[in-house]
Each structure stands twice: as C-alpha cells, then as structure tokens.
Structure 1
C-alpha cells in the first residue's frame, strides 16, 4: 500500500484530478415494495423529528406525542429495512470456513442457513401474530392508538421477510455450487 509520500507516480495522488465513475442508470424497476415503504417511513420519521425539534427548541412548547410516535416509527423502519436486507441477502454472517470447504458442502451449508433463517422468521411472525390481539386493549401513552398497530406493522414486516426468505431459499435449492462462489464474491466486493 502506498500513499502520496512514498509513491513514485505524482499523477496518482493529484488532488485536482477528479474522475467521476459512471453509475448504473436509474430505474424504478430496481426497487421493491419494501424500498418504497422504507423511503416513505423515513421521511415521515424525519418530519416527526423536525416537528419535535421545532416545537421544543423554537416555540418552547414541546409536542408530547412526537417522541413516542418517532420511537414507533423507528421500530417500523427497522423492520421494513430488515425486509430489504433479507431480499438482498446482506444480513450479517461469518464467511470464514466456506472458503476451505468443497463447493457442494458450502452450498449445503448455505441451504441449511437459509432454512434456519426461514424457520426463525416464521417463529417470530407466529409470536407477533399471537401478541397482536392481546395488545389491542393497551393504548399508546400520548395517542389514542392501540399498541397492536405497531405489532401489526412488525408482523407485516416479518411476513414480507418470510416471503423474501422463501424466494432466497428456492433460489438456493435450484442453484448449483457455482452460484455460491459468485454470491460470496459479490458480497465481499
């Protein structure tokens, strides 16, 4: 690794040399439902936080409901963002041992992991479904809205994650060992 002090090529580190890499052309087809939901939720959260800041620090009369609503919006955004991670298969995992495994064994390990992810998400969705009716009697502290609304959004996010996880598992079951090498190399880049 070289830096500007040890490099023999002065053009390599010229601060005035701007080369802009061309990005891929924008296409609405590259975005899925969860991307648009996350986009809308993010801006609703930003508006809620801005109104909280404005009311508290500019008008010195804080709106009590903004803090609680922002907290629930952040939870919803986290679950919708998780749907994006499951769709792109970019959740955190350790990719150490698969490099030394044979390709067929590595493929089977990835299939097992995809199945475990699906089972885990299904269990979470089942528990969220069970808790929704129990929380209908509880209202948010500052708004007259049941807490079950938040858990319904969580359940919807989990169902979408299950759908994306089934798609990923189906792709893993129908692909060969070369797909794992390509997928792993793409995630490392």
Structure 2
C-alpha cells in the first residue's frame, strides 16, 4: 500500500466514531476537574523548579494526593460504565449458561471487594490523626474521599448485579448484542 492509497485530508477525521456525550455523568466532570487541578499543580511544580530555580515545597505532596483522587474518582466512572478489565478468554470456551454463572460470580466478588475496601478505608481514616507535611490539612480527608469512592463503587456494583440478573445478559455474556441496555431484550436461559 502506497501513501497515495491512504485517505487524505479532513475526511479521515469524519470516519472516527463520535464521542458519546449522553453517557457523561457528574463523577466524570469531577474527575476532570481534579485532573486539571493536578495538571496545574504539576505545571507549577515544574515551572518553579526548572524555570525559577526555586521549587515550591507543597506541590509534590499535593500532586500525590490529587493523583490518588483522580485514580479513585475515575474508578467510580469505570465501574459505572462496566469498563474495568476482564479476562475474556474463558468466556469464549464456555456456553452461555457458564458465562452467566461466571458473570454472577464476578459481580459478587467485585461487590464484596468494594465493600471490604470501603470498610478498610473508613477504619484507616478514623485512625489517621496526622496532618499533611506541607499544609495544615488532615491526611484523613484523602482516606475519607477514597472510602466514599469505594462506597460509590460498591453501590454501583449492586446496581450492576441487579441489572445483570434482571436482563440476563451483559457485554461478557452476549458480546454480539449492542451496548445499549435499553435495546436488549430480557434473554431466556438456554
């Protein structure tokens, strides 16, 4: 294939799938806001260290905590969209009833994990009495936020489990069906 065979110009951009903005919720905006705060703090850290040759001490610690928040708030979005990674190779080898059973077990494990992590983070936040090194703010705020994110993930996992039980399908059980849950009929067990 030569360079002249490849599409040229703006029509290449038109072939891409459009971004679905109807699936954007408030946690998506929150994670974007925290991400931009992280970007600003890291840029400030870079600018003061390498351009002004006088680093601000608080930027490294705040960037670390903002990165933690981006991770866990983003994980809430990933749970809501059911986009966490999964080992799909087993789903190719088993029949539909086996895939339904595996999906049920995976949903239970995810729900249990998120619940256990919520409990662990709450206990950790209650025991933490330290303040951040660079600013006079309790470290427990970070742990409480992570606990809230895990609690949201647990609640979403319960909703997803109920949805999978009610509809009898998911993207892993029936990968050939469209992703829109409203267009999926309730399937019968084979």
Conservation of the 8 A alpha-carbon contact between 2:122 and 2:147: yes
Aligned residue pairs, count: 177
TM-score, with structure 2 as normaliser: 0.83
Cα distance change, pair 139–169 in 1 and its aligned pair in 2 (3 A): same
Which of 23, 34, 37 pairs up with 1:30?
A: 23
Which of 35, 41, 46 pairs up with 2:34?
A: 41
Cα displacement (A) at 1:13:
2.6
Matched, 1:149 2:133: no
Aligned equivalents of 2:177, 2:38: Cα separation in 1: 34
Which of 44, 62, 67 pairs up with 1:69?
A: 62
Cα distance change, pair 132–183 in 1 and its aligned pair in 2 (3 A): farther
Cα distance change, pair 111–67 in 1 and its aligned pair in 2 (3 A): same
Structure 2: segments with no counterpart, 5+ residues = 180-190
Cα distance change, pair 32–101 in 1 and its aligned pair in 2 (3 A): same
TM-score, with structure 1 as normaliser: 0.84
Matched, 1:165 2:157: yes
Cα displacement (A) at 1:163:
1.7
Cα distance change, pair 131–17 in 1 and its aligned pair in 2 (3 A): closer
Which of 79, 95, 117 pairs up with 2:72?
A: 79
Q: Deviations over 1:51-71 (max 9, x none)?
A: 111211222211100000000
Conservation of the 8 A alpha-carbon contact between 1:104 and 1:177: no
SS at match of 1:182: coil
Cα displacement (A) at 1:183:
7.1
Tell me which residue corresponds to 1:123.
116
Give me the CA root mean square deviation: 2.4
Tell me which residue corresponds to 1:91.
84
Matched, 1:181 2:174: yes
Conservation of the 8 A alpha-carbon contact between 1:139 and 1:145: yes
Structure 1: segments with no counterpart, 5+ residues = none
Tell me which residue corresponds to 1:103.
96
Conservation of the 8 A alpha-carbon contact between 2:164 and 2:170: no
